[in-house]
Amino acid sequence: MDLQLTDKTAVVTGASRGIGLAVVSTLVREGVRVVAAARTITPELKATGAIGVPVDLSEPEGPARLVALAEAELGGLDLLVNNVGGGDTGDGQTGGFLSFTDQQWSDAFDLNFLASVRTTRAALPHLVTRRGAIVTISSNGARTPHAGPVPYTTAKAALTAFGKALAEEFGPQGVRVNTVSPGPVRTDMWESPDGYGAELAKSMGLEQEQLLAALPAATGMLTGRLVRPEEVAALVAYLASPLAGSTTGADHIIDGGAIKTV
């Protein structure tokens, strides 16, 4: 299927690994010129052919610098993919609400919410000019906030609400805004030996491999497996394309059927 994205321009944040890397690879294959932002430009990211920009988007001035550079490199902006986020470090994430400090709450919101707010604010004037699109990666944890570290899931809930508000305000100006909310994805968050999955397994008295094997059934995923990054990337690419021209203001869940509510 031709997604009609050839020669479009995009900024993708959190692009060095996992979902972000898969999104960059998919968009580049579709003919999109991509500026890919990450704290570290990995060899895998370089190999995609995207323009890698090292930036820490949790710093207040980082998003504006990124968008200014992208505008200069690309000559305009058709798409913003807000993928930057965190929650994949295991240390101190499994103790429950009373274990989280003010600093942990602040860090979670800076990276999982405010980084996207600031990047979107910088990008929107350019997106309005091109009648572009925004796709923001949230989490199904926004709808099941008990299922993960509470600062992380609460920040993701704010991110999903943010997308709804943006769609309402900027839809009349031609900008489509959607969120994508994956369930557990085969990324470092679950698979790294020092990530959240490893720490969660330890807290439950399990080996990490045991947790990953049991996770789909335990979370109600009807597919029997975790989501693959490229599946999320395919959905992002479709939502970015003219084929999704009447799709806006929606939260698209991709979690193997884990969310049971209508």
207-241 pLDDT, tens digit per residue, is 999 999 999 999 999 999 999 999 999 999 999 99
What does the chain come to in residues? 262
Greater confidence (262 vs 226) lies with: 226
**9-193+228-253 CATH:** 3.40.50.720
pLDDT band at 91 (very low <50, low <70, confident <90, very high): confident
Angle, to 10 degrees, between the axis of helix 115-130 and the axis of helix 62-74?
30
Q: Which DSSP category does 111 fall into?
A: I
pLDDT band at 90 (very low <50, low <70, confident <90, very high): low
Beta strands in 61-196 (DSSP E): 79-82, 133-137, 176-182
Residue 1 pLDDT > 90: no
pTM to 2 decimal places: 0.96
Contacts of 47 (CB under 8 A, 6+ apart): none
Say if CB 194 and CB 90 are below 8 A apart.
yes
**Among candidates 44, 1, 6, which has minimal Cα distance to 24?**
44
Residue 60 pLDDT > 80: yes
**Among candidates 87, 62, 81, which has minimal Cα distance to 21?**
81
Q: Catalytic residues, which ones?
A: 152
Q: What percentage of the chain reaches a pLDDT higher than 70?
A: 99
Residue 187 pLDDT > 80: yes
Please state the separation of Cα 175 from the chain's center in Å. 19
SS3 of 79, please?
strand
SS3 of 115, please?
helix
Give the model's pLDDT for residue 88.
58
Q: How far is CA 30 from CA 5, 149, 175, 199, in A?
A: 6, 35, 21, 37
User: What is the per-residue pLDDT across 160-181, written as a single tens digit (0 to 9) for each?
Assistant: 999 999 999 999 999 999 999 9
Terminal Cα-to-Cα distance of the chain (whole angstroms)? 29
